[in-house]
Structure formats: structure tokens, C-alpha cells
């Protein structure tokens, strides 16, 4: 085992981040692990950051880069809201994030998922991965843990879910990714945004479903290992 831990490595959020639209709004979800090399710098971080009253962003990649980008965009959106006289739309927020990501692509390393609700377009999710592409999608996944979720979403995603179905889907997905990805862990945080406002939820590790090797074995060959003398199973 490699015991040399580089405690001065840049803080990176291994991360699993998800954004999902449902019939009436969006649900954003994320894990809570921030790592510095192999050391977990923060096991309960909040990766879902507010940009405006109705638009939030999930951050992944370099913690510093994603924080700076969110801070700049929050500042620009604040000014924009004052001039406009009403809340900014999620499309505008996503575009501002995209401009910063694209124009500074050589220096930044951050993948973001913008999700929000506005009165013109309803709930929208925008993915802005590493190079600064902007793509509007019904759902988006990001971070190192997302690799394990592509197949899951292909099968489990459906159009027109209810708020509770969408949130359950997000929690299940983040918890699956946490189970498989070493760089994701901690708790699952969700943010639901719709016409009524914003709701934050928190699912600690013990409230999450168990997967595969975490479950009690049933009729499994593992029974033989635990018994005193290996005998053929009685089925």
C-alpha cells in the first residue's frame, strides 16, 4: 500500500455530480468528498453552489477553479439581475459559465452542471464539461464517479418524472457511484428547484441503500468460506 500521501497536492473534488429535469423543475445531486491526493480534505463538502435565487451549479474537478468560476458568475449575474429588473434565466447563467470556461481553458480544470428554474423555460439543465462546451440536456452527469453511471441512466432515466421520482433517481445514482468510485464519498446532497422555490436535502451514509458486496450474502458461495468445513450446499 502506498503510504506516501502528498498532503500538498491541489485539492481536487473526485466527485460525482448529477443534474436531472423533471415535470416542473430540476433536481441537482452531488457527493461530498474533497480529496488532496489520497487524503480526504473534506468529507462533508457542499458541491452544489448557489448562483442566484433560482439557479444553482454543481462543481467538479479542481476545487479552487470551480469556486472562482462560480464566484465570478455570481457577481455578473447579480449585476445582470439589477439591470434586467427580474431574475436571471438559467440559460444566461450557463452562458456566463461557458464563456469563462472556454476563454480560460488553458488554465482551468473544472466541469460544471448548471441547473435552474425560470418562468420562461421552466426547469433546465446545462452541462459545461472541461473544454467549455455548453450543452442543454434533460439530464447530465459529471465528475470521476459519473463513469459508472452512464449505463445506469440509459436504463433508468425517463421523461416526465415526478419530483420524488427524480430525487430518488439522483440519490440512488450518487450512492451507486460512491460505492464504486474511490474519489467520491461522504454524504449525498440534493437541491430541488421549481416554481415554488428551492429545497435542500441531505442523506447521510447510513440512510443510503446498500449495494452488492455490502449486502448479506444469500445462497452465495461465500457461505462455504464462513462455515467450519466446506460441504456441498443444500438448495
Partner 1 sequence: MSSIGTGYDLSVTTFSPDGRVFQIEYAAKAVDNSGTVIGIKCKDGIVLGVEKLIASKMMLPGSNRRIHSVHRHSGMAVAGLAADGRQIVARAKSEATNYQSVYGEPIPVKELAERVASYVHLCTLYWWLRPFGCGIILGGYDRDGPQLYMVEPSGISYRYFGAAIGKGKQAAKT
Residues noted as catalytic: 15
Applying CB under 8 A, which of residues 26, 27, 96, 173 lies at the interface with partner 1? 96
Residue 91 sits in the site that holds partner 1 (CB under 8 A): yes
Question: What is the C-alpha to C-alpha distance for residues 86 and 184, in angstroms, rounded to an integer?
Answer: 37
80 binds partner 1 (CB under 8 A): yes
Q: Using CB under 8 A, which of 40, 99, 130, 198 touches partner 1?
A: 99
Q: Please report how many Cα atoms fall inside a 13 Å half-sphere around the Cα of residue 128, on the Cβ side.
A: 29
Grid cell locating 156: 433508468
- Minimum distance between the CB of residue 98 and partner 1, rounded to whole angstroms? 8
Q: How far is the CB of 120 from partner 1 (least distance, A)?
A: 6
Least CB distance to partner 1 at residue 104 (A): 15
- Tell me: does residue 180 bind partner 1 (CB under 8 A): no
Is 38 near partner 1 (CB under 8 A)? no
Rounded distance, CA 26 to CA 14, Å? 23
Give the total of residues touching partner 1 (CB under 8 A).
14
CB closer to partner 1 out of 79 and 162: 79
Contacts of 80 (CB under 8 A, 6+ apart): 88, 92
C-alpha–C-alpha distance, residues 135 and 140, integer Å: 9
Output Rg (C-alpha) for the chain, integer angstroms: 20
List the one residue out of 71, 63, 50 whose CA is nearest residue 14. 63
Name the segment binding partner 1 (CB under 8 A); options: 11-19, 91-99, 192-200, 219-227.
Answer: 91-99
92 forms part of the interface with partner 1 (CB under 8 A): yes
Q: Which helix (H) or strand (E) holds 101?
A: helix 90-103
Nearer to partner 1, 126 or 203 (CB): 126
CA torsion 146-151-157-158 (nearest 10°) is 150
Q: Which residues bind partner 1 (CB under 8 A)?
A: 80, 83-85, 89, 91-92, 94-96, 98-99, 120, 134
Amino acid at each position: 500500500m502506498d503510504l506516501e500521501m502528498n498532503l500538498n497536492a491541489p485539492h481536487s473534488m473526485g466527485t460525482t455530480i448529477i443534474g436531472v429535469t423533471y415535470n416542473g423543475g430540476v433536481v441537482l445531486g452531488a457527493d461530498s468528498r474533497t480529496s488532496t491526493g489520497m487524503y480526504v480534505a473534506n468529507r462533508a463538502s457542499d458541491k452544489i453552489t448557489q448562483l442566484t435565487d433560482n439557479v444553482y451549479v454543481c462543481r467538479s474537478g479542481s476545487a479552487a477553479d470551480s469556486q472562482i468560476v462560480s464566484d465570478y458568475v455570481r457577481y455578473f449575474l447579480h449585476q445582470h439581475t439589477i439591470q434586467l429588473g427580474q431574475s436571471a434565466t438559467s440559460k444566461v447563467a450557463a452562458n456566463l459559465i461557458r464563456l469563462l470556461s472556454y476563454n480560460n481553458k488553458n488554465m482551468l480544470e473544472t466541469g460544471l452542471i448548471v441547473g435552474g428554474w425560470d418562468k420562461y423555460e421552466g426547469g433546465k439543465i446545462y452541462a459545461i464539461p472541461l473544454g467549455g462546451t455548453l450543452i442543454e440536456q434533460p439530464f447530465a452527469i459529471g465528475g470521476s464517479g459519473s463513469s459508472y453511471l452512464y449505463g445506469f441512466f440509459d436504463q433508468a432515466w425517463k421523461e416526465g418524472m415526478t419530483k420524488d421520482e427524480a430525487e430518488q433517481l439522483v440519490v440512488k445514482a450518487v450512492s451507486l457511484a460512491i460505492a464504486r468510485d474511490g474519489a467520491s464519498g461522504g454524504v449525498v446532497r440534493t437541491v430541488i428547484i421549481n416554481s415554488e422555490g428551492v429545497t435542500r436535502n441531505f442523506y447521510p451514509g447510513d440512510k443510503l441503500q446498500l449495494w452488492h458486496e455490502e449486502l448479506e450474502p444469500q445462497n452465495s458461495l461465500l457461505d462455504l468460506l464462513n462455515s467450519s468445513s466446506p460441504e456441498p450446499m443444500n438448495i
